[in-house]
Amino acid sequence: MAQTTTATGLPKGFRDADQGWPELHRIPHPPHRLPFLGDVIGASRRTPLQDSLRHAPALGPVFRRKAFGKEFVFVWGARQVADLADETRFAKHVGLGVANLRPVAGDGLFTAYNEEPNWQLAHDVLAPGFSREAMAGYHPMMLAVAGRLTDHWDGALTAGRPVDVPGDMTKLTLETIARTGFGHDFGSFERDRPHPFVTAMVGTLGYAQRLNTVPAPLARHLLRGAARRNAADIARLDATVDELIAQRRASGGGEGDLLDRMLATAHPRTGERLSALNVRRQVITFLVAGHETTSGALSFALHYLSRHPEIAARAAAEVDAVWGDAARPGYDQVAKLRHVRRILDESLRLWPTAPAYAREATVDTVLAGEHPMRRGAWTLVLTAMLHRDPEVWGADAERFDPDRFEPAAVRTRAPHTFKPFGTGARACIGRQFALHEATLVLGLLLRRYRLVPDPAYRLRVTERLTLMPEALRLHLERRPTGR
């Protein structure tokens, strides 16, 4: 029988074995390899990312791990990550967690394959929704939602109750993207339990994560019940979004928000519009991508502020100085909170809430002059580890220190060493939105409250594709000078 060969001339099967990394065997991996389960000793299904972080220092800037029947190459060295940012040789790879979300988000902006025409179309139609002018338009709505949060926190303070930080940040960020993007109100702050949309979203993110950690041949069997629940979750997300779209169509248009752009804006050059199915995908994409990561970023920042009262006091003093006692700080007054913004950057350094992104070679190439990759080979950039590389951040990289983001300090660092929003054409479209919202809210909270930690709390991080501090509660005190 004639031997089948691949395009590279290798016998069929080789390509799968080395996954497009012809010198895969030269990439370090953890000791204790077991047949089938791989490097599973000490690995937890619940914390795959934090397990990788634990392995990374000993294995070096490029390493591989075999876990739950699959092998992955990870990259975290600053030099290698910078090379992967070269858009002439590399691009986003839709794999793993992102690929697992395809049944939910289809060819929506986040999960679209690079060559799918709906990516460019939606990107061009929606990008103006993130311009400076658009952001200034969202600002009053962001303020209104933040007011619901401070009302809620005032109630907790009066009752002497601690606040549920991740829970409340999720309410805030969901209401913010729903209101600014879609003119919708989920009533999160008025509910005892999360909105069913949120429950379904959390379910489907958790399922997408679990699919990564179950050996493929067993996944169907092990996850049968979970798959059924996941289908129900997706149906719930679709139903919520379809209703929201139907309301908008019935009302004949909003104030030029994201939904109006999705429904009514034609591509500036081709005149093409998003299909009804694609609009549904985009609404789900933005409701999910637009709040989960920002909620985590705010939650980590509040954790660190509660543990570093001197940093919180300095930031509060900045807010007092810049905002005075303006009841409603203006759009331009938010970007002036430089210290508050550095607190956010430093939180996203230690816990980038989208903790990894995948890159694939678009040509046969050599990664950082060392590791040959064939076209299509891919790797995961471990952002959370890049952000702890001692060669970039020093021996005290684990320490929370917002001064690392002083302009003079930033100038000493190489490009591509801080990548919480990904890289290149497929980097986060909502970056300015998230930073404006989070800086505004931190400013409002720092001005109004002193954050008092529970001394017994130890930071534990939940993973469901995104990161979140687990069970973080804080006590509040009113700042005598704050508004």
449 pairs with which residues across the strands? Answer: 478
Position 92 contacts ligand MNH (CB under 6 A): yes
CA distance 387 to 53: 11
Burial of 406 (0-12, 13-18, 19+ CB in 10 A): middle
Burial of 475 (0-12, 13-18, 19+ CB in 10 A): middle
Position 102 contacts ligand MNH (CB under 6 A): no
Choosing from 110, 186, 197, 400, the residue that interacts with ligand MNH (CB under 6 A) is 110
Position 297 contacts ligand MNH (CB under 6 A): yes
Stretch that binds ligand MNH, among 206-214, 223-231, 239-247, 285-293 (CB under 6 A): 285-293
- Which tokens sit at 395? 């021996």
Hey, is 476 helix, strand or coil?
strand
Hey, is 126 helix, strand or coil?
helix
Stretch that binds ligand MNH, among 34-42, 54-62, 282-290, 472-480 (CB under 6 A): 282-290
Position 361 contacts ligand MNH (CB under 6 A): no
Position 285 contacts ligand MNH (CB under 6 A): yes
Position 237 contacts ligand MNH (CB under 6 A): no
| Shortest distance, position 427 Cβ to ligand MNH, whole Å | 6
Closest to ligand MNH by CB, 43 vs 91, is 91
| Shortest distance, position 387 Cβ to ligand MNH, whole Å | 12
Closest to ligand MNH by CB, 43 vs 126, is 126
Whether 428 is catalytic? yes
Closest to ligand MNH by CB, 167 vs 290, is 290
Mark 324-356 as b/e (b = at least 16 C-beta within 10 Å). eeeeebebebbebbebbbbbbbbbbbbbbbbbb
- Which tokens sit at 41? 């000793």
Whether 421 is catalytic? yes
Choosing from 357, 378, 393, 405, the residue that interacts with ligand MNH (CB under 6 A) is 357
| Shortest distance, position 224 Cβ to ligand MNH, whole Å | 29
Long-range contacts, 311-318 (Cβ 8 Å, 24+): 311/343, 311/400, 311/402, 312/446, 312/450, 312/451, 314/339, 315/339, 315/340, 315/343, 315/442, 315/446, 316/446, 316/447, 316/479, 316/482
Position 353 contacts ligand MNH (CB under 6 A): yes
DSSP string of 222-271? HTHHHHHHHHHHHHHHHHHHHHHHHHHHHHT--SS-HHHHHHHPPPTTT-
| Shortest distance, position 382 Cβ to ligand MNH, whole Å | 12
Position 420 contacts ligand MNH (CB under 6 A): yes
Stretch that binds ligand MNH, among 52-60, 216-224, 329-337, 349-357 (CB under 6 A): 349-357
Choosing from 67, 149, 289, 384, the residue that interacts with ligand MNH (CB under 6 A) is 289
Choosing from 367, 421, 444, 474, the residue that interacts with ligand MNH (CB under 6 A) is 421
CA distance 110 to 396: 34
How many residues make contact with ligand MNH (CB under 6 A)? 27
CA distance 47 to 419: 21
Single-letter code of the amino acid located at 241: V
Whether 68 is catalytic? no
Closest to ligand MNH by CB, 59 vs 289, is 289
Position 195 contacts ligand MNH (CB under 6 A): no
Catalytic residue among 180, 213, 240, 293: 293
Closest to ligand MNH by CB, 166 vs 352, is 352
Q: Which of 39, 106, 400 is nearest to 282 (CA)?
A: 106
Position 434 contacts ligand MNH (CB under 6 A): yes
Q: Given CA atoms 349, 352, 358, 362 in this order, what sign does their dihedral have?
A: negative
CA distance 419 to 56: 18
Residues that bind ligand MNH (CB under 6 A): 92, 98, 109-110, 123, 177, 285-286, 289-290, 293-294, 297, 352-354, 357, 420-422, 426-430, 433-434
